[in-house]
A and B are shown apart, each in its own frame.
Chain A
Amino acid sequence: MNSTWSRFNITSVTLGFAFLYLPIVLLVIFSFNASKLVTVWGGFSTRWYVSLFHNQGLMDAAWVTIRVGLISATVATVLGTLGALALTRYTRFHGRVLFSGMIFAPLVMPDVITGLSLLLLFVAVGLDRGFLTVTLAHITFTMCFVAVVVQSRLLTFDRSLEEAAMDLGAPPVKTFFQITLPVIAPAIVSGWMLAFTLSLDDLVVASFTSGPGATTLPMKIYSQVRLGVTPEINAACTILIGIVTAGVIAASIVNKRREVQRLRDEQAAQRG
């Protein structure tokens, strides 16, 4: 296989990754810039991190964002997993086409449409815009991403395990919790993480559906970016990137360990 990894292939992958990572690396480097100008290097400093933690507005927004993210990702994971089960396990029910349409369409729906339509719904039912409405909006569009991630795992899942359990008399709910859930757990975890980061990331839907007192971090960053690029924003972004990177790496290590463990179990089972 090594022989097919030609110089051309190596070059294109390297250039591609350089393009993907260079802007982020530069952003991180300039967050440690002593100068107030973002693009002129004035020596190493952590002053922007200090001033960041004294910026009450940003801190409040960060707290709102984290709470919205935790709640919406958790609810979205439950709903999305149910949606994935409905799509893969029940191939025939009334309105299945509409259902799969409602799962897939939000994946590509422009944010402005999702945001506007949800806002008009909240106004129509007389719900005051704020923390609750942002959370409901985030649940709605992130649950579809969870459904797709979990569904792709369910499709490759060996159903004979479930059938065996049910043949032996286990009720469906018990079968789900003891057989299905442990197998699809990694997909559910990555679905949750995806939902959480999408919620953390969202500017447009939150701007439409948020109200007073529920300003999220992206909304705050956006309003500051419009006024000009500041090193403080670089620092805030660097912290966010750090958290996400650490989370993704930790999750992939856990997944890898589980994979190794599973292979060992399988080998042991075959030998025994």
Chain B
Amino acid sequence: MANAALSSTTTSAAGAQKSLTARLAAALTSRLVIIVPYVWLLFFFLIPFIIVFKISLSTTAIAMPPYTPVLDFADGISGFLAGVKDLSFDNYVWLTQDPLYFNAYVTSVIVAGISTALTLLAGYPIAYGMARAPASLRPTLLMLVILPFWTSFLIRVYAWIGILKPEGLLNQLLLAVGVIHEPLIITNTYTAVFIGIVYSYLPFMVLPLYSALEKMDHSLIEAAQDLGCPPITAFWKITFPLSIPGIVAGCLLVFIPAVGEFVIPDLLGGSQTLMIGRTLWNEFFANRDWPVSSAVAVILLLILIVPIVIFQHAQARAQEAER
């Protein structure tokens, strides 16, 4: 395929002289490759954050949009400077005064942390087993891990409601077997949130772990065992350290989105659980308080900025290693 393409370009290129216009066009296209996605992301990803920050400093008003505009350049520089004086940190003060927000942030970080640890515990044996599987079977196993990821997140969370609710399938099974005599209350508890997060994010943990474990040279383990190292020690001394890049990537891929998760706490945790994603949603949709929900988002972003930067560094390092 590539050969055919090469030969066709050879013939057409033989007489082609690199004219000035051609070189200009080439320079322009190489610029466009960068500029088009760059400008798109600046406009739709970076600027929105600046707007969120700006609105978090404004005051709630009964209007559409429901806040008083701040920092408008329409009135020129003097109007802008006058606007600076009107900025209010009231929304942030409000966040510190109502313990609801503080509790929601702390709970979200704890719930996400515990869920990440549980996902790692569940995902590691799966990834390890896959990496040790016969090479012919591995692509199929890999596809089987990715497949649930392609089916809707909402559907997968929804499926658990039917299983976990008091008259649900799990309780029916346990009652029939006689393990329990009263239905377990799982929905609307943090247990349900843990199950939901572990289940939904498991592929995100398994995939980076698998790619780290699959690259590992298994003869290292064999050598250690030949030299009398017990399998468990060999695991902790060889396999585990070599899989740390996969663990870091997997944990961050689970932890960061889990902190701000909305669907799982809302559908499985219900009103009994307090997480910041739901708080932000309710502030926005139920209370229609855009400035406060913006402030909630700014603080959430500040909490997540460190893990996000670590994640980017890990990605960049992995990319360098590929070169």
Chain A residues in the interface with B (C-beta under 8 A): 1-2, 4-6, 8-13, 15-17, 19-21, 23-24, 26-27, 30, 38-39, 79-80, 82-83, 85-86, 89-90, 93, 95, 98-113, 116-118, 120-121, 123-124, 136-137, 139-140, 143, 147, 151-152, 155-156, 161, 164-165, 168-175, 178-179, 182-183, 193, 197, 200-201, 203-204, 207-208, 218, 221-222, 225-226, 229, 233, 237, 240-241, 244-245, 247-248, 252, 262, 265, 269
Contacts and interface: CB of A to CB of B under 8 A. Distances in A.
B36 interface: yes
Contacts of B206: 16
B147 A9 contact: no
A16 B199 CA distance: 10
B161 A168 contact: no
Interface of B: 1-3, 5-6, 8-10, 12-14, 16, 18, 22, 25-26, 29-30, 32-34, 36-38, 40-49, 51-52, 55, 65, 122-123, 125-126, 128-130, 132-135, 141, 143-148, 150-156, 158-163, 165, 167-169, 172, 199, 202-203, 206, 218, 252-253, 256-257, 259-263, 267, 277, 280-281, 284-285, 290, 293-294, 297, 300-301, 304, 307-308, 311-312, 315-316, 319, 322-323
A199 to B, nearest CB: 11
Dominant SS among interface residues on chain B: helix
B154 A90 contact: no
Contacts of A164: 6
B44 A248 contact: no
A28 B239 CA distance: 39
B311 to A, nearest CB: 6
Contact of B129 (A12, A165, A182, A233): A12
A172 B132 CA distance: 43
Contact of B55 (A10, A113, A120, A247): A120
B101 to A, nearest CB: 14
Given A90-B33, A100-B312, A168 B172 contact: no
Of the listed residues B37, B150, B260, B322, the one surrounded by the most CB atoms of chain A closer than 10 A to its CB is B37
8 contacts: A1-B134, A20-B144, A23-B199, A108-B308, A111-B260, A178-B5, A229-B162, A240-B155
B38 A108 contact: no
B51 A121 contact: yes
B2 A183 contact: yes
A45 to B, nearest CB: 17
B155 to A, nearest CB: 4
